[in-house]
Structure 1
Amino acid sequence: MTSSMMAASVASAAPPEQRHDQVAGWFRMMVGGDEVTALYDGYVGIDTALLSGLDQQQIRERLDSLFIDSENGVQTAVNAFLVHTGEHLVLVDAGSSACFGPTLGHVPDNLRASGYTPEDVDTILMTHLHPDHVCGLTDSEGNAIYPNAELRVSQADADYWLSEEQAAAAPEDAKGFFEMARNAVAPYQQAGRLETFQPGDELMDGVSAQDTSGHTPGHTSFLFQSEDDDMLVWGDVVHSYGVQFADPGVAIEFDSDQQQAIAARQAVLSAAAEDQHWVAGAHMPFPGIGHVVRDGEGYRWLPVEYGPVSE
């Protein structure tokens, strides 16, 4: 065989089969002296019919302009955030565990992939007690995934979601949300490691609870302040970045008080644009970290750029 024939044979050889596995879902950066690690729990499709305040045609046109496919529901990330303050290892929200389908429930695996273990976490801050945030506190057998952590929940959300009276009075299709919240916090409560807080409380040095209620009665965002930099972990202030940045007046069906949720979103977006602090969102495209900038009468999202972790 001539050299040209050999070259042609090598060139025509098929490549290896395609690989459909993905990199581990974690991303790390520094905010002042705090090390922040975004943890990907997975994704869920949200039907645009759940959004109100614009007609469906306007919503679809806005999403289409951003190349966001909404035909089968908008792919919406579920993120949690691990913050190493130097004195504490804090997990903000815990993901969904097995409460929702096979595309979710990956926070513990991604936490381990990032170099930590669930046993390392000493504090868990809950933005609210919806199942895609709270179910990840326990495993499939109802045991605490974070055995050394103190769980901190807003008093208003605890009074609502952990109340058997509220559950009994809820519509039939909502009763499961109450049960999932109670089951998720149960091992922490039984171990005496469940504590509540009020809006404005300083939860530890450099970490304060910010009232962003409306999505739930006690929905809370957490402001981490370190050296000359700040980050607001805002929970569910925004569900559909393709719609709600341009028009913060668009609500979602899951809001317990839509008008209050709209007011909270408008206030948070305005402050984030004015103060130029980092924000981290549970339902923003992974890693869910970026800045908010003004854009005409609305806002737009400026995601963080990948880069090495500076010390």
Structure 2
Amino acid sequence: MITRRHVLIAATAALGAPPRLWATTTLDLGGARIDTVSDGALVLSPTVLFGQMPQAELHELLARYGESLDRFDPPCNVTLYRDGKHTVLFDAGAGPDFQPSAGKLFEALATLTLGPEDITHVLFTHGHPDHLWGVLDDFDEPVFGHAVHMMGRIEHAFWMDPETVARIDEGRKGYAVGAARRLAALGERLTLLEDGAEVLPGITARLTPGHTPGHMAYALAEPTPALVLGDCLSNHHVAFERPDWPTGSDQDIAAAAATRIRLLAEVADTDLVLIGYHLPAGGLGRAERAPAGGYIFRPLEG
């Protein structure tokens, strides 16, 4: 069963930012429960994201979804998993230092009468600001003080390598500095994961590289198998219809495309529930093969 609750708050004062809509979307997995809670939304440059794609085809594709290249404001859906023993966050949101339209996780958790002290585990998909930067408070102390924090070993090594700041492109240097500071502050609180590791009973880490070198998705087992995607499928239109197209937000463009192509074929054939950080309808849905090729994102019905 899927249910949705929405709480509309006043529009943010940031010029040009989207209105602040807090939402929770709940999926009963049969023995466990998923809630996706809103950390707000991002304001991104469509040119940076889609600039390397064939523009005429891109405009036609986006128009079918009522989108344009004027602006791109993807939602940020933080996944909360509860099985009666563990209360698990997948990613920690953006915190206050990235964009004013994001970093709203505490307010969203409050709609479920939860606070940071209730979280037992934080599982990171990757080290980008909207997924990691919410892990520290204003005093650089861990926000989720009672939680075990986990990240893929490859991802951690990339952001902690002193050479990453020098090698990464100019637009991501701030990402590298911010990630290294936060991961260093977590220190021994952080457990490193390998591909295929059983993180907790019924939760398995899956390496899905390209968006970042060590990006992890997390597979949730029976009775309702689901996959927490992070950013390996980062929108509901281009990424699904044309997973082969180059996306400017990906660290390794070719590897990210290969991951999308492989992953979409798998989830369409297995009818797996997808939980996407930047997908609409709380991020919950399935991938269907489109008659003309590619895939269609189908939100779960509420």
Q: TM-score, normalised by structure 1?
A: 0.86
Corresponding residue of 1:138: 136
Structure 1's 261 and 169: CA in aligned 2 closer, same or farther, altered over 3 A? Answer: closer
The reply to whether residue 158 of structure 1 matches residue 156 of structure 2 is: yes
Instruction: Name the amino acid aligned to 2:219.
Output: L
For residue 24 of structure 1, give the secondary structure of its aligned residue in structure 2: strand
Corresponding residue of 1:204: 200
The reply to whether residue 277 of structure 1 matches residue 272 of structure 2 is: yes
Structure 1's 153 and 287: CA in aligned 2 closer, same or farther, altered over 3 A? Answer: same
CA shift, 1:53, in A, is: 5.7
Identify which of 25, 42, 49 aligns with 1:27: 25
CA shift, 1:128, in A, is: 0.5
Instruction: Name the amino acid aligned to 2:288.
Output: V
Corresponding residue of 2:260: 265
- In structure 1, distance between residues paired with 2:296 and 2:169: 36
Cα RMSD after superposing both structures: 1.8
| CA deviations over 1:76-105 (Å, ceiling 9, x no partner) | 111110000222111001111123221110
CA shift, 1:168, in A, is: 3.8
Corresponding residue of 1:222: 218
| CA deviations over 1:204-250 (Å, ceiling 9, x no partner) | 11110111111111001000113x21110011112232212111112
- In structure 1, distance between residues paired with 2:172 and 2:72: 23
- In structure 2, distance between residues paired with 1:188 and 1:248: 35
Unaligned runs of 5+ in 2: 1-8, 12-19
For residue 42 of structure 2, give the secondary structure of its aligned residue in structure 1: strand
The reply to whether residue 59 of structure 1 matches residue 58 of structure 2 is: yes
> Retained in 1: the 8 A contact 2:43–2:101?
no
Question: Mean Cα displacement is larger for which, 75-84 or 239-248?
Answer: 239-248
- In structure 2, distance between residues paired with 1:146 and 1:178: 22
Look at both structures and tell me which one has the larger radius of gyration over its CA atoms: 1
For residue 98 of structure 1, give the secondary structure of its aligned residue in structure 2: helix
CA shift, 1:165, in A, is: 2.9
The reply to whether residue 193 of structure 1 matches residue 189 of structure 2 is: yes
> Retained in 2: the 8 A contact 1:245–1:299?
yes
Structure 1's 118 and 69: CA in aligned 2 closer, same or farther, altered over 3 A? Answer: same
Question: Mean Cα displacement is larger for which, 52-61 or 173-182?
Answer: 52-61
Structure 1's 83 and 174: CA in aligned 2 closer, same or farther, altered over 3 A? Answer: same
Correspondence list, 1:53-92, <5 A: 54-71=53-70, 73-92=71-90
- Count of residues in Structure 1 that have an aligned counterpart in Structure 2: 284
Structure 1's 45 and 57: CA in aligned 2 closer, same or farther, altered over 3 A? Answer: farther
- In structure 2, distance between residues paired with 1:258 and 1:188: 29
Corresponding residue of 2:14: none
Instruction: Name the amino acid aligned to 1:55.
Output: P
Corresponding residue of 1:149: 147
| CA deviations over 1:172-207 (Å, ceiling 9, x no partner) | 443211111122233321xx2111011011111111
The reply to whether residue 231 of structure 1 matches residue 226 of structure 2 is: yes
Question: Mean Cα displacement is larger for which, 53-62 or 121-130?
Answer: 53-62
> Retained in 2: the 8 A contact 1:48–1:56?
no
CA shift, 1:20, in A, is: 4.9
Corresponding residue of 1:303: 299
> Retained in 1: the 8 A contact 2:281–2:299?
no
- In structure 2, distance between residues paired with 1:272 and 1:52: 28
CA shift, 1:126, in A, is: 0.5
- In structure 2, distance between residues paired with 1:252 and 1:169: 19
> Retained in 1: the 8 A contact 2:283–2:299?
yes
- In structure 1, distance between residues paired with 2:21 and 2:207: 35
CA shift, 1:164, in A, is: 1.8
CA shift, 1:145, in A, is: 1.2
Q: % of aligned pairs identical?
A: 28
The reply to whether residue 125 of structure 1 matches residue 123 of structure 2 is: yes
> Retained in 1: the 8 A contact 2:22–2:37?
no
Question: Mean Cα displacement is larger for which, 49-58 or 193-202?
Answer: 49-58
- In structure 2, distance between residues paired with 1:156 and 1:52: 28
Structure 1's 44 and 100: CA in aligned 2 closer, same or farther, altered over 3 A? Answer: same
- In structure 2, distance between residues paired with 1:265 and 1:54: 16
Corresponding residue of 1:249: 244
For residue 237 of structure 2, give the secondary structure of its aligned residue in structure 1: helix
Instruction: Name the amino acid aligned to 1:63.
Output: L
